[in-house]
Amino acid sequence: MKIALAQMQMSMDKSANLNSAVMQIRSAGLKGADLVLFPEVMLTPFFPQYPAAMLSGMGIPSDAFSIGEDDVAFETLSSAAREAALYISPNFYIKEEDGTCFDRSYLISPNGAVKGHGDMVHIFSGENFWEKDYYTPSREGFRVFDTPFGRVGIVICFDRHIPESIRSVALQGATIVLIPTANLVNEPLDVFEAELRAAAYQNNVFIAMCNRVGEENGITFAGESLVVGPDGNVLAKAGRDQELLLCEIDPGEALRSRSQRPYIGFVSPDPKVYHMAGERESLVAPSLNRLFHAMSEYDRGDALRIQHFTKVWTYARMIGLGEGLDVNTQNTLEAAAILHDIGIHKAERGFSSSSGSLQEKLGPAEAVKLMTDLGFDREMIRRVSYLIGHHHTYTEIDGIDYQILVEADFLVNILEDRLSEEAAEHTFETIFKTETGKKLFRDMYPEEGPYDPKKK
């Protein structure tokens, strides 16, 4: 995906700021962006530089710069998102009906619908940032949102300095973290960058931070918006002037890094420490590794079965990453691939048969017991059970995880069952739908031959 950071300078003119944001969205759309991130409180000057008592003494109430969710800015930006066919994440100073005010970021989808919002959780107060005078801490905690590119988390400005903040969205499955901010030129920007690089590395996520620019009554915003990859390297960095910074990222890299360096898989989050709106996801390699070893123990002594599900898991993982599945679907697919034949031994013991229909009937209950003992999420267990109960049913395939599981199983079975060339080609034509699965098939069985499934 391509992410755009709209590094902007704000003025006292709300309409001008809004129009500038619309122009940034249009420009990003023309440049092929999939998501546009805006800086903190993008419609106004940075009013928190003044204590609220100071503004009050001038006759300016603390909510003077706030907007409600019925403000024209929402429809204006939603329309721009629709026209450009991309996601946007604007940040506003929001006043709710009860008078409570929040520093709030939204995620608006390409159809113009508001998918949700995240509020600042930890509120700072000090020189140039008297934010406690204006903002109320989030009532819900850190939030993540599903997109076609994976789960997106929102962490606002000061929150990023608290390590648990980025970890909270990572534990909920985020692979991309959006940070609107307001950093000044006299702050330790090298340290701020190092913070993000370490957080991205430790949590296996992409981080995009978008800053303001320009001078506002004696303070100067630094710009230097940036995108950091899950390996901790800076992928793109803006200068100190207005700029639309674009960066191409591969969200699958976050998933791959979790397999190779699964740091957050060993975190036992205390809900009193990690302010998560949702529950922790079963999203990282250690859970799948434990599942693999549990299934190996279940099939202990049966090397062929263990090798079979290991190969199916490998192909399913490769296809899923190649097709860009979101974290939850990818992990559900991989769990199903590991367990897909769990019903075989029970079928052989009870019925002296390993038929596909018996596997489908007997496998789900065995999978439920094993996954429950390992502490997997109930919704994942439900879907994995469904996939196991249908993995030999090739009509009305329901879902990309189902499709990939079937393809991965066939890639192994063509060789293990020594299908004829005609049968293999029929399978290719009728079963394979994903581009990654098709390529794997053709790498093994080219159209021009040779084809010899009996060759070892």
Which residue spans of the chain are classified as CATH 1.10.3210.10? Answer: 285-444
Q: Where in the chain is the domain with CATH 3.60.110.10?
A: 2-266
Alpha carbon 291 to its chain centroid, in Å, reads: 23
CATH code of the domain made up of 2-266: 3.60.110.10
Q: Name residues whose C-beta falls within 8 Å of residue 236's C-beta, 6 or more positions apart in sequence.
A: 226, 227, 245, 246, 247
Task: Indicate the pTM of the whole model.
Answer: 0.65
Chunked into runs of 10 residues, the chain (456 residues) has average pLDDT values of 97 96 97 97 96 92 95 97 96 96 97 95 95 95 89 96 94 94 97 98 96 96 97 97 96 80 76 72 58 92 94 96 89 95 88 84 90 76 94 92 96 91 93 96 85 59
- In this predicted structure, what is the pLDDT of residue 287? 65
**In this predicted structure, what is the pLDDT of residue 257?**
83
pLDDT (0 to 100) of residue 382: 92
- CATH of region 285-444: 1.10.3210.10
State the virtual CA torsion across 6, 49, 105, 88 in degrees, nearest 10: -10
